[in-house]
Amino acid sequence: MAKKKENQSKAVKWDYSPAPESSSHINMKDQYELFIGGKWVKPSSGKYFDTINPANKRKLAKIAYANEKDIDKAVKAARKAYKTVWSKTAPAERAKYIYRIARLMQERAREFAVIESLDSGKVIRESRDVDVPLACNHFFYYAGWADKLEYAFPNRKVESLGVAGQITPWNFPLLMAAWKIAPALATGNCVVLKPAETTPLTALKLAEIIEESGLPPGVVNIVTGYGDTGAAIVNHDDVDKIAFTGSTGVGKIIQKAIASTDKKATLELGGKSANIILEDAPIDQAVEGIVNGIFFNQGHVCCAGSRLFVQESVAEEVIEKLKHRISSLIVGDPMDKNTDIGAINSKEQLDIINRYIKIGLDEGATMYQPDCSLPKSGYYCRPTLFMNVAQSSTIVQEEIFGPVLTIQTFRTVDEAIEKANNTPYGLAAGIWTDKGSRIFNLANKLNAGVIWANTYNKFDPTSPFGGYKESGFGREGGLQGLSAYVKLK
Amino acid sequence: MERLKVLKTYKVYIGGKFPRTESGRYYSPKNAKGEVLGNICFCSRKDIRNSVVAARKAFGGWSERAANNRGQILYRIAEMLEGRKAQFIEELILQGSTKVQAEKEVVLSIDRLIYYAGWCDKYTQVLGSVNPVASSHFNFSMHVPTGVVGILADQKTSLIGLISLIAPVIAGGNTCVVLASEKLPLCAITFSEVLNSSDLPGGVLNVLTGSCSEMMKPLTTHMDVNAMIYSGSDKSIVKELKESSALNLKRILHYDLDWMKADSQDLYKLSDFQEVKTTWHPIENIGGASSSY
């Protein structure tokens, strides 16, 4: 008897053997130039910057730093391609180019996944199973729209806009490039795209595929650089449309910058989305959903379920199970297939997250972090829960963009709706309940562009994504995503 | 002896009530002949704020009404306007229209209301979609109203511009605050009286008069206004609207149209003030039976 008891009390230590994804088969250059007019050109300033692997701070490649002159060159190349080739290309042929890009990406999917994880710090499981397949499918989906646009806008003639300037963020580098480029090409526009400075590699790999696909030179131009490079795109006179995904702060600057122009804009900005657990929810499933909602991609997700609302009657159980669950999450090498939470994308972002964690503590919230080990080098953050927070707490109000979850409780459904809607954002919301009718009730009343019921952070090329209020305007994905790139006559 | 005519005191319309402006100020616009149209309320920033509060309060109820009911109410507004045609024609003539023009404008306004009344229970069918996602979810997108809309009404017309802007906005379940034409304000105020007798809940539509240049700023910079419409051709106003939009990412719509034209009405005026909401509803996925059994 006594011996058995002893055995039970001795916690079994489950060690996982490392299961690293090999990076030996990937093709990566030491230095990348700008992809303009179908050619790889050196930046006019001669300047380059390093992109590093945030998991170990090692340099991956040297990246060209584009300035205003380079952007002008890229926009001119796009305009020329638009006028001379792309606007005259039959829609069905346009479709075939896009299909071809999708296929070429699929063929090199594993290479994309590995480079994405190296450059961004996201875990290989996610880049392999989520980012890359979704990006391929996005091209595949929009390809078919190219010759069917008249069915999307009843009673109207559809025309392309011209040159689209597109600026993408570092959290889903390849996927966001796909979200931007695919619908723009399908609707007959040409593109100048700038990926984020910390994660330029997969967009440049995509440029290689575009080159390989035989897409006419200048239809897609990929330029790399920092915020000033993006500003040069926004302020260029000959750009007809700006598509931006990033912070609400920068989105507002862009909106102001283009106020006196006729440029169309879609802005996909921040969020502080509510994830609501009702008492009849399947609790174990909900706990997985909470974890996926906030710790997916290290919480670097604009629609992350960063505000958890749990019905009082089950709060204790949910929080206890959640603590238990996150204590088994593995934080570490993104290239290891066992890893749940990878590296924070940059030092800058890690500083921001740590600042918010400090604010949370200073404002009197109760913090819980599991006591897991972190790699010695690289940027990492433990999954973090904050209890005893108020609606007015800074960490409840502001987007943190990291693995930090605030937990609040509610008694009635009305209270949950009111609290969830009490934010300047309106991107997404999660609902966990066993009752279908309750899902529809909450879905109607939550002010958010995407509502996930008994799931979270699901994406699909056919499903439009985008938010209300300060989460921006316009939709990406689906039929509705076409309207950002057309004018109706 | 000639009967002394009873003159009308023109008020504004806020939250279903007819107050004068809280500022106590007024202005007296004149027509081309130099006749005074009336002592019109010269509204203030405070009136704007009160109107936005009323519009926000009315939003929940109005946006959640059955679509059919919204259609009935818009139709009812048209009915009420039809019954008071003569008064609107008279006001339009006083403001400088010819009799023929005035009749045409009023009739067109009524018909435009009927047009949008009909859209109330149809636009979500035309614009919505069921999205064939790869996972086990019933995924659908539907259009839902943007919220509180600020409207800078057409300055060149008294009635048709106003109707053309407000009808698609309220048909889509939004509530709004309208700044009436500064020089031609009479029909906007009288139209409020039509609204008040047409089952439209108070606060859904709020009508203010006064100086557009003075009231534009408090309206466009209001953090609880979700969208703004400007009808006209002044580029500097468009710029100001877009700049102020950066405060809380208001949706800014600009129309430069001749509202007397038949093709100035369409579904897209309505969808301009809608947000796309997409829901992922779970589908049970157990058992092996397929529909071929």
| Residue A356 forms part of a structural domain | yes
| CB contact at 8 A, A212 and A40 | no
The yes-or-no verdict on residue B293 having pLDDT over 70 is no
A70 and A218 share one domain: yes
Which positions 198-257 of B are in contact with A (Cβ < 8 Å)? 226, 235, 239-240, 242-243, 245-249, 251
Contact between chains at A448 and B277 (C-beta distance less than 8 A)? yes
Q: How many CA atoms lie within 13 A of B11 on its CB side?
A: 13
Q: Report the pLDDT averaged over residues B87-91.
A: 97
| B164 reaches A (C-beta below 8 A) | no
Contact between chains at A462 and B139 (C-beta distance less than 8 A)? yes
Catalytic residues of A: 268, 302
Q: Is B98 helix (H, G, I), strand (E, B) or coil?
A: coil
A233 and A212 share one domain: yes
Nearest Cα neighbor of A307 from A424, A415, A413, A385 is A385
Residues 6+ apart with CB under 8 A from B18: B11, B12, B192, B193, B196
| Residue A236 forms part of a structural domain | yes
Chain pair A-B, CB pairs under 8 angstroms: 114
d(CA A406, CA A388): 8
Report the pLDDT value the prediction gives residue B287, as an integer from 0 to 100.
Answer: 76
Interface residue of B280, B281, B285, B286 to substitute, partner A, most A CBs within 10 Å? B280
* Closest approach of B81 to chain A, Cα-based (Å): 30
Q: B55 is written with which tokens?
A: 């519009």
Within 8 A of A260 by CB-CB distance, chain B residues are: 235, 239, 242
Within 8 A of B268 by CB-CB distance, chain A residues are: 156, 488
Question: Confidence class of residue B289 from pLDDT cuts 50, 70 and 90?
Answer: confident
- Residue carrying structure tokens 């179908």: A38
A194 and A326 share one domain: no
Report the pLDDT value the prediction gives residue A62, as an integer from 0 to 100.
Answer: 98
Strands of the sheet with B251-255, listed across from one edge = B205-208, B175-179, B148-152, B227-231, B251-255
Interface residue of B124, B263, B267, B276 to substitute, partner A, most A CBs within 10 Å? B276
CATH number, domain of A372, equals: 3.40.309.10
**What burial letters (b/e) apply to A198-208, b meaning 16+ CB within 10 Å?**
bbbbbbbbbbb
A478 and A429 share one domain: no
Write the residue in B137, B226, B275 that is nearest to A458 by C-beta: B137
| CB contact at 8 A, A255 and B242 | yes
Question: Confidence class of residue B58 from pLDDT cuts 50, 70 and 90?
Answer: very high
| CB contact at 8 A, B63 and B232 | no
Q: How far apart are the first and last CA of chain A?
A: 84
| CB contact at 8 A, A116 and A127 | yes
Beta bridge partners of A432: A277
- Residue carrying structure tokens 């629609």: A303
Q: B108 is written with which tokens?
A: 């067109």
Contact between chains at B280 and A452 (C-beta distance less than 8 A)? yes
A209 and A257 share one domain: yes
d(CA A436, CA B38): 57
Nearest Cα neighbor of A431 from A456, A466, A406 is A456
A195 and A62 share one domain: yes
- Residue carrying structure tokens 């038949």: B262
Write the residue in A259, A450, A470 that is nearest to B278 by C-beta: A450
Q: Which amino acid is at B6?
A: V
Q: A169 is written with which tokens?
A: 């963020």
d(CA A391, CA B109): 46
d(CA A117, CA A119): 6
A408 and A481 share one domain: no
Residues 6+ apart with CB under 8 A from A124: A21, A113, A114, A117, A334, A335, A336, A337, A339
Write the residue in A155, A464, A471 that is nearest to B141 by C-beta: A464
The yes-or-no verdict on residue B255 having pLDDT over 70 is yes
Within 8 A of B243 by CB-CB distance, chain A residues are: 255-256, 259
Q: A124 is written with which tokens?
A: 């290989």
* Closest approach of A431 to chain B, Cα-based (Å): 10
d(CA A31, CA A2): 65
Q: What is the largest CA-CA distance in chain B?
A: 93
Within 8 A of A255 by CB-CB distance, chain B residues are: 242-243, 245-246, 249
Q: A355 is written with which tokens?
A: 């600042």
| B262 reaches A (C-beta below 8 A) | no
| Residue A9 forms part of a structural domain | no
Report the pLDDT value the prediction gives residue B291, as an integer from 0 to 100.
Answer: 78
For residue B130, report the phi and psi dihedrals to the nearest 5 degrees: -105, 125
Pairing between β-strand A48-53 and β-strand B175-179 as defined by DSSP bridges = unpaired
- Residue carrying structure tokens 């939004």: B174
Helices (H), B36-66: 45-63
d(CA B221, CA A130): 40
Residues B72, B78, B84, B88, CA torsion sign? positive
Report the pLDDT value the prediction gives residue A11, as an integer from 0 to 100.
Answer: 61
Q: At what angle do helices B67-83 and B160-171 cross, to 10 degrees?
A: 160
CATH number, domain of A116, equals: 3.40.605.10
| Residue A460 forms part of a structural domain | no
d(CA B7, CA A474): 49
Nearest Cα neighbor of B173 from B129, B230, B110, B120 is B120
Full 3-state SS string of B116-136: HHHHCCCHHHHHCEEECCCCC
Interface residue of A302, A418, A473 to substitute, partner B, most B CBs within 10 Å? A473
Contact between chains at A472 and B249 (C-beta distance less than 8 A)? yes
Nearest Cα neighbor of A97 from A239, A209, A8, A258 is A209
d(CA B15, CA B202): 5
The yes-or-no verdict on residue B21 having pLDDT over 60 is yes
d(CA A115, CA A122): 10
Q: Report the pLDDT averaged over residues B13-38.
A: 95
Question: Which H helix or E strand runs over A382?
Answer: none
- Number of C-beta neighbours around residue B268 at 10 A: 15
Within 8 A of A440 by CB-CB distance, chain B residues are: 279, 281
Q: Report the pLDDT averaged over residues B229-258.
A: 94
d(CA A379, CA A243): 30
Residues A125, A130, A131, A132, CA torsion sign? positive
A88 and A165 share one domain: yes
The yes-or-no verdict on residue B41 having pLDDT over 80 is yes
Interface residue of B234, B279, B283, B284 to substitute, partner A, most A CBs within 10 Å? B279
| Residue A464 forms part of a structural domain | no
Looking at the structure of chain A, the number of domains it has is 2
Q: Is A82 helix (H, G, I), strand (E, B) or coil?
A: helix
Write the residue in B64, B131, B249 that is nearest to A462 by C-beta: B131
Can you give the residue range of the structural domain that contains A334? Answer: 274-453
Q: A128 is written with which tokens?
A: 């392999």
Which positions 71-110 of B are in contact with A (Cβ < 8 Å)? none
Domains and CATH numbers, chain B: 26-282 (3.40.605.10)
A224 and A295 share one domain: no
Contact between chains at B131 and A154 (C-beta distance less than 8 A)? no
Q: Which amino acid is at A102?
A: A
Interface residue of A244, A255, A256, A303 to substitute, partner B, most B CBs within 10 Å? A255
| CB contact at 8 A, B168 and B45 | no
Report the pLDDT value the prediction gives residue A2, as an integer from 0 to 100.
Answer: 47
Q: A328 is written with which tokens?
A: 């088994």
- Residue carrying structure tokens 């959290």: A171
Q: B250 is written with which tokens?
A: 């208001």
Contact between chains at B275 and A449 (C-beta distance less than 8 A)? yes
**CA-based nearest residue in chain A for residue B253:** A264
Q: Which amino acid is at A479?
A: L
Report the pLDDT value the prediction gives residue A1, as an integer from 0 to 100.
Answer: 43
Contact between chains at B141 and A462 (C-beta distance less than 8 A)? no
Give tens-digit pLDDT for B152-166: 999 999 999 999 999
Within 8 A of A253 by CB-CB distance, chain B residues are: 246
Pairing between β-strand A48-53 and β-strand A58-64 as defined by DSSP bridges = antiparallel
Give tens-digit pLDDT for A378-397: 999 999 999 999 999 999 99
A365 and A483 share one domain: no
| Residue A217 forms part of a structural domain | yes
* Closest approach of A97 to chain B, Cα-based (Å): 24
Give tens-digit pLDDT for A2-38: 444 444 445 667 778 899 999 888 999 999 999 999 9
| B129 reaches A (C-beta below 8 A) | yes
Within 8 A of A463 by CB-CB distance, chain B residues are: 131, 133, 139, 141, 278, 280
d(CA B172, CA B265): 14
Q: Report the pLDDT averaged over residues B65-90.
A: 97
d(CA A466, CA A471): 8
Within 8 A of B137 by CB-CB distance, chain A residues are: 455, 458
What is the pLDDT of chain B when averaged over all its residues? 95
The yes-or-no verdict on residue B286 having pLDDT over 80 is no
Within 8 A of B133 by CB-CB distance, chain A residues are: 458, 460, 462-463
The residue ranges of chain A whose pLDDT is under 50 are 1-9
Beta bridge partners of A190: A163
For residue A430, report the phi and psi dihedrals to the nearest 5 degrees: -115, 145
| Residue A107 forms part of a structural domain | yes
A186 and A293 share one domain: no
Report the pLDDT value the prediction gives residue B82, as an integer from 0 to 100.
Answer: 97
**CA-based nearest residue in chain A for residue B132:** A462
* Closest approach of A448 to chain B, Cα-based (Å): 7
**CA-based nearest residue in chain A for residue B60:** A445
| Residue A91 forms part of a structural domain | yes
Integer CA distances (angstroms), A149 to A86, A157, B183, in order: 16, 9, 44
A296 and A261 share one domain: no
**CA-based nearest residue in chain B for residue A424:** B248
Q: A417: buried, middle or exposed (CB in 10 Å: 19+, 13-18, 0-12)?
A: buried
d(CA B111, CA B108): 5
d(CA B246, CA A199): 27
| B266 reaches A (C-beta below 8 A) | yes
Residues 6+ apart with CB under 8 A from A425: A248, A270, A271, A272, A273, A399, A467, A468, A469, A470, A471
Q: Pick the residue with more confidence: B287 or A132?
A: A132
Give tens-digit pLDDT for B184-242: 999 999 999 999 999 999 999 999 999 999 999 999 999 999 999 999 999 999 999 99
Report the pLDDT value the prediction gives residue A10, as an integer from 0 to 100.
Answer: 58
Give tens-digit pLDDT for B203-212: 999 999 999 9
What's the Rg (C-alpha) of chain B?
Answer: 21
d(CA A63, CA A42): 10
